[in-house]
Amino acid sequence: MALTVLALVRTRKLFAAVILSGVYSFLMATVMLTLDAVDVAMTEAAVGAGISTVLLLGALYLCKSEEAKPAHRPWLPLAVSVSTAAILIYGAMGLPDFADPKSPIHQNVVPRYMENEVDVPNVVTAVLASFRGYDTLGETTVVFTAGAGIIALLRRRKSKRDDNEK
């Protein structure tokens, strides 16, 4: 993964960058798989590596395939991202161990989820659709809004161009 990221940063060719980000998504999916989050791994592989790669390639045909030279030196953004990463890593060291049954997240609502009054064997589905039904309704609405926004943006431009041609 680190190799992929380094290559991704170094490359100036946008086509290579798109393919490399697809590779990165697949590697990320395997990481999710080893963390036993199969649902997330499936989503990552399908959306990150599949559909977003296709969409980026489609966008690439609309513009130049070579990245422009940066106008200024990258030191300030670099410093900001390195310090953020340092803070995050420092914070992550304070977290409980992976799969520690005594950690706080397993003490409060998880026992009730696990009791499974819904009687659906996949707890992820039960939590998403039943216990957190409102959240998922909101998510679906967000996805719908994204689609509606795309329609609104791209369709208007198309009709404008038609007007110009007339």
Binding site for other proteins (CB under 8 A): 38-39, 42-43, 46-47, 50-51, 54-55, 58-59, 61-62, 117-122, 124-126, 128-130, 133-134, 136-137, 139-141, 143-144, 146-148, 150-151, 154-155, 158
Closest separation between CB of residue 161 and other proteins, Å?
A: 10
Amino acid at 112: R
State the virtual CA torsion across 4, 5, 10, 13 in degrees, nearest 10. Answer: 70
Closest separation between CB of residue 126 and other proteins, Å?
A: 7
Closest separation between CB of residue 136 and other proteins, Å?
A: 7
Q: Give a three-class secondary structure readout of 56-111.
A: HHHHHCCCCCECCCCCCCCHHHHHHHHHHHHHHHHHHHCCCCCCCCCCHHHCCCHH
Closest separation between CB of residue 105 and other proteins, Å?
A: 20
Which one, 63 or 93, has the nearer CB to other proteins?
63
- Residue 15 in contact with residue 60, Cβ under 8 Å? yes
As given in the structure block, the two tokens for residue 59 are 């966008």
Which one, 7 or 40, has the nearer CB to other proteins?
40
Which one, 96 or 138, has the nearer CB to other proteins?
138
Closest separation between CB of residue 19 and other proteins, Å?
A: 15
CB atoms within 10 A of CB 2: 7
Q: How far apart are CA 99 and CA 97, in angstroms?
A: 6
